[in-house]
Amino acid sequence: MTKQEAKKRIDELCDSLNLYSYKYYVENESPVSDYEYDMLQRELLSLEEKYPEFTRPDSPTLRVGGEAENTFSPVEFEVRLESLQDAFSFDEIDDFDRRVCDTVSGYSFVVEPKIDGLSVNLEYKNGIFVRGATRGDGSIGEDITENLKTVRSIPLKLRKNIDITVRGEVYMSKAVFLDIVTKQEEAGEAPFKNPRNAAAGSLRQKNPKITAERRLDIFVFNVQKYEGSEFSDHKSSLDFLKELGFVTVPFYTPCKDIEEAKNELVRIGEIRSSLPFDIDGAVIKVNDFSQRRTLGSTAKFPRWAVAFKYPPEEKDTVLRDIEISVGRTGVLTPTAVFDSVLLSGSTVSRATLHNEDRIKELSLAIGDTVTVRKAGDIIPEIVKVSARSGNEIFRFPENCPSCGERVSRDEGTAAHRCVNPACPAQSLRLLIHYCSRDAMDIEGLGEALLEVFYKKGMVKDISDIYCLKAEDIACLEGLGEKSAQNILCAIENSKKNDLSRLIFALGINNIGAKAAKLLSVHFGTLEELEKASVQSILEIEGFGRIMAQSVERFFSLDSTRVLLEKLRENGVNMKNLSEIKDERFKGMTFVLTGALSQFTRDEASAVIEQFGGKTSSSVSKKTSIVLAGEDAGSKLRKANELGIKVINEDEFKELINQ
pLDDT at 637 over 90: no
The residue among 506, 513, 497 whose CA lies nearest residue 183 is: 513
State how far the Cα of 239 lies from the Cα of 159, in Å rounded to an integer: 13
Query: What would the mean pLDDT of 561-580 be, rounded to a whole number?
Result: 87
Residue 605 host element (H or E): helix 601-610
What number of residues does the chain have?
A: 658
State how far the Cα of 503 lies from the Cα of 517, in Å rounded to an integer: 8
Q: What is the percentage of the chain residues whose pLDDT exceeds 90? A: 37
Assign domain 589-657 to its CATH architecture: 3-Layer(aba) Sandwich (3.40)
Greater model confidence, 108 or 424: 108
State how far the Cα of 429 lies from the Cα of 161, in Å rounded to an integer: 53
- CATH assignment of 314-412, given 3.40.190.150, 2.40.50.140, 1.10.287.130, 1.10.10.10? 2.40.50.140
Query: What would the mean pLDDT of 346-372 be, rounded to a whole number?
Result: 88
Angle between helices 3-25 and 34-50 (to 10 degrees): 150
State how far the Cα of 214 lies from the Cα of 216, in Å rounded to an integer: 6
Q: What is the third-level CATH fold of 76-308? A: D-amino Acid Aminotransferase; Chain A, domain 1 (3.30.470)
pLDDT at 85 over 80: yes
Band (423; pLDDT cuts 50, 70, 90): confident
pLDDT at 227 over 90: no
The residue among 121, 115, 170 whose CA lies nearest residue 141 is: 121
Catalytic residue ranges: 114
* Tens-digit pLDDT profile for residues 588-613: 889 888 877 777 776 787 778 777 78
Domain with CATH 1.10.150.20 in the chain: 424-569
Residue 174, φ and ψ in degrees, nearest 5? -60, -40
Band (183; pLDDT cuts 50, 70, 90): confident
Greater model confidence, 489 or 513: 489
Q: How far is CA 512 from CA 174, 411, 505, in A?
A: 18, 23, 9
**Mean pLDDT, rounded, of the chain:** 86
Bridge partner residues of 306 (DSSP): 284
Bridge partner residues of 326 (DSSP): 332
State how far the Cα of 261 lies from the Cα of 270, in Å rounded to an integer: 14
Domain with CATH 2.40.50.140 in the chain: 314-412
What is the model's pLDDT at position 489? 94
* CATH no. for 424-569: 1.10.150.20
Judged by DSSP in three states, 543 sits in coil
In this structure, are strands 625-628 and 589-593 parallel, antiparallel, or unpaired?
parallel
Highest mean pLDDT among 281-295, 421-435, 630-644: 281-295
State how far the Cα of 39 lies from the Cα of 45, in Å rounded to an integer: 10
- CATH assignment of 3-64, given 3.40.470.10, 2.30.30.140, 1.20.1260.10, 1.10.287.610? 1.10.287.610
Domain with CATH 1.10.287.610 in the chain: 3-64
Greater model confidence, 393 or 526: 526
Residue 329, φ and ψ in degrees, nearest 5? -100, 5
Residue type, 554: F
State how far the Cα of 458 lies from the Cα of 405, in Å rounded to an integer: 24
Band (392; pLDDT cuts 50, 70, 90): confident
Q: How far apart are the first and last CA of the chain?
A: 35
Q: Are 93 and 258 in contact (CB under 8 A)?
A: yes
Domain with CATH 3.30.470.30 in the chain: 76-308
State how far the Cα of 19 lies from the Cα of 590, in Å rounded to an integer: 18
